[in-house]
Amino acid sequence: MDSVVSEPLPSVGTGERLQPWQLDRTRAPIATKIVVAGGFGVGKTTLVATVSEIEPLQTEALMTEASEGTDDLTATPEKTTTTVAMDYGRITLDDDLVLYLFGTPGQQRFWFMWDDLVRGAIGAVVLADTRRLDDCFPALDYFESCGLPYVVGVNHFDGSERFETEDVREALTVPPHVPVLIMDARRRISVVESLLALVGHALDASPE
């Protein structure tokens, strides 16, 4: 499967490149919703922005003194903003497969939004930071409890210790059938490969 459209395509006024399914009225794309979840500052906003073919919608707000003692910045001391609602982007794969990406807010005080964001999704990418694996347990528990297929994307940060996928699987007690991937949310090809892995996993998990 081709990961992205390689031919230059006409653009609209905003600079967005039109995709083949937008130019041919006889083509009906397969539209799929995917959720990107994980702990605070794990790279959800970065992942969506890295691959989105449209200007991503971001609900970033400046962090204030009110979040001190609530948001742990030990591993991300340079982080100055946080997602307070969701991230949204779109990517076209293999010409007619369109993925709509919804990034969840990471902090516990925003978890009440998750049920609405997850509704209609075929699966989720749960991002994990090896410096603070405990932060992704709530997302893992959530998707296990609701039965939504998911993959774990180990997003390595500069200076973080490298671990094998099976070590991460064991630490997070991820079931054997769930893919665990090493990826980089800043690299487009890495994110695309993770999304394709999720789509394949979701198809395998779907009832006949």
Identify the band that residue 2 occupies on the pLDDT scale cut at 50, 70 and 90: very low
Q: Which residue has the tokens 């999704």?
A: 121
Element (H, E) at 139: helix 137-146
Q: Tokens in use for 206? A: 């779907």
Q: What is the DSSP letter of 134?
A: G
- Residues with Cβ < 8 Å from 99, sequence gap 6 or more? 32, 33, 34, 90, 91, 92, 93, 195, 199
Question: So what's the pLDDT on residue 64?
Answer: 44
Q: Which CATH class is domain 20-205?
A: alpha beta
Would you state the pLDDT for residue 174? 97
Region of poorest pLDDT, from 71-75, 106-110, 168-172: 71-75
Which of 67-81, 104-118, 129-143, 150-164 is the least confident region?
67-81
Q: Which amino acid is at 154?
A: V
Q: What is the pLDDT of residue 66?
A: 45
Mean pLDDT of the chain: 79
Other Cβ atoms closer than 10 A to 175: 9
Handedness of CA 74, 75, 76, 77 (dihedral sign): positive
Express each pLDDT in 18-30 by its tens digit.
766 566 666 656 8
pTM of the model: 0.75
Q: Is residue 152 within 8 Å of 50, Cβ to Cβ?
A: no
176 vs 60: which has the higher pLDDT: 176
What 3-state DSSP class applies to 77?
coil
pLDDT at 79: 42
Per-residue model confidence (pLDDT) at position 36: 95
Residue 187's CB is within 10 A of a number of other CB atoms, namely: 12
Q: Which helix (H) or strand (E) holds 152?
A: strand 150-155
